[in-house]
Amino acid sequence: MTYAQALDYIDSFKSQGSKPGLERVAELLAKLGNPQERLRIIHVAGTNGKGSFCAMLESVLSHAGYRVGAFTSPVLERLNETFRRNGRDIPDEDLAGVTESIRPYVQSMTDLPTEFELYTAMAFVWFARERCDYVILECGMGGRQDATNVINRSLLSVITGISLDHTRFLGSTIEDIAAEKAGILKENTPCLWCGNQRAADDVIRSKAEQMHAELYRVDRSTIRIGSAGIDGTLFDFGGYRNLKISLLGLYQVQNAANVICAVEILRRLGAAISDQALYAGLASAKWKARFELMSRNPVVIYDGGHNPEGVDSAVESVKAYFGDEKLCVVTGVMADKNYAYIARSIAQIASHVYCLTPNQSRSLAAEQYAETFRSLGTAADAYPTIPGAVHAALKQCKEQSAPLLCIGSLYMYADVKKALRADSGSLH
């Protein structure tokens, strides 16, 4: 099977849609010999911050000399990025080989797996073949019925935070969503809870007690930011001084603090992680689409904030980095998000908004989104194509020497990045 054939085969599972339950992925993994049972897994759930947490922890463990697998989603540019070892995407030939090896087992099933269930099985097979020392496993959505929760045990459970998102699937209250996320907790397995919502705290504490899982919390009161700019952030946390992260966005300091707490738990469990590896890993970690600096001249930043909490965090960072300066903003969202709230938040820092329709069936129409901004008194235009929106925004931000913020759905990331590259080499 060639790489192109593998992609075509995997793509055919999109028609399966999203189905709750672990039966299909469990059946497939059993046919494959349950490779997940040979792995030491750090399982990560949460509404926001999962991907950044995984990227930083992957970098730290890699600097400590371990073979580290990481499974994250969604796909931003290439499917390969979903499966990584020590920061490198799965090679094309490995992806094709894994797909070919599991295909007969998939086809022997009466109830075929969903696309994400297929990804999950592929990840476990590849990580086992690579003899990974640790696997960082990010939930796709929720936790309790997420395909990744097919595992019977883990080394550490992590819940980065809880906020209202995917309410159609996870419930309409913080308590409902917390219960779904807490579904990843395993018997006698430590859990790191990184959030600060009282309603969620009660649910997670109760679940931890039920599972006899030692519960750790992150004390963010000891965070002290020394300096923050587009070249990175210096900060102190607990007994650690002069930590540096290159990932931008003030919220990344909180994610880094979460990682430090996770490292301290892993040390108690026997992991050999030096302070040198911790500092180097945090400083060198990279992650796409989270306040990602795409260009310096002009300044172009992409942030995948697509729910109220995520957008508020991005807006807070814009204010910290750029003060009262207004930015040109390119944005698009899904229609099932609280786009009225998101628009109000973005309007605080926008001089002009360029609305687009992400290439996804659930997308909000650009004109409807633009009208939402106009009703707030913010200049906004709708564009029929993503390149058109990006070109117009770049033109104005160059004329005004203003930064450009691209914010919203992760589904528009690849198209926006491609448009930036095509527009007179604006991306570098």
pLDDT at res. 164 = 60
- pTM (whole model) above 0.75: yes
pLDDT at res. 143 = 87
| Residues present in the chain in total | 428
pLDDT at res. 390 = 97
292-422 belongs to which CATH class?
A: alpha beta
Give the β-pairing of 380-382 and 350-355: parallel
Task: Identify the residue whose tokens are 């397995």.
Answer: 189
Q: Which of 224, 402, 255 is nearest to 323 (CA)?
A: 402
> Which listed CATH number (3.40.1190.10, 3.90.230.10, 3.30.565.10, 3.10.450.50) goes with 3-284?
3.40.1190.10
- Cα 372 to Cα 101: distance, rounded to the nearest angstrom: 49
**Rounded to 5°, angle at Cα 124 from 97 and 217:** 150
Rg (CA), the chain: 21
pLDDT at res. 18 = 80
* Cis ω before 358 (30° cut-off from 0): no
pLDDT tens for 385-409 read 999 999 999 999 999 999 999 999 9
Amino acid identity for residue 424 in this structure:
S
Give the β-pairing of 83-85 and 215-217: unpaired
Per-residue pLDDT of the chain (428 residues; tens, 9 = 90+): 999 999 999 999 998 888 878 999 999 999 999 999 999 999 999 988 899 999 999 999 999 999 999 999 999 999 999 999 999 999 999 999 999 999 999 999 999 999 999 999 999 999 999 999 999 999 998 889 999 999 999 999 999 988 765 445 555 688 988 999 999 999 999 999 999 888 899 999 999 999 999 999 999 999 999 999 989 999 999 999 999 999 999 999 999 999 999 999 999 999 999 999 999 999 999 999 999 999 998 999 999 988 888 899 999 999 999 999 999 999 999 998 899 999 999 999 999 999 999 998 889 999 999 999 999 999 999 999 999 999 999 999 999 999 999 999 999 999 999 999 998 665 55
pLDDT at res. 167 = 47
All structural domains of the chain with their residue ranges: 3-284, 292-422
What residues contact 88, with CB distance under 8 A and at least 6 apart?
Answer: none
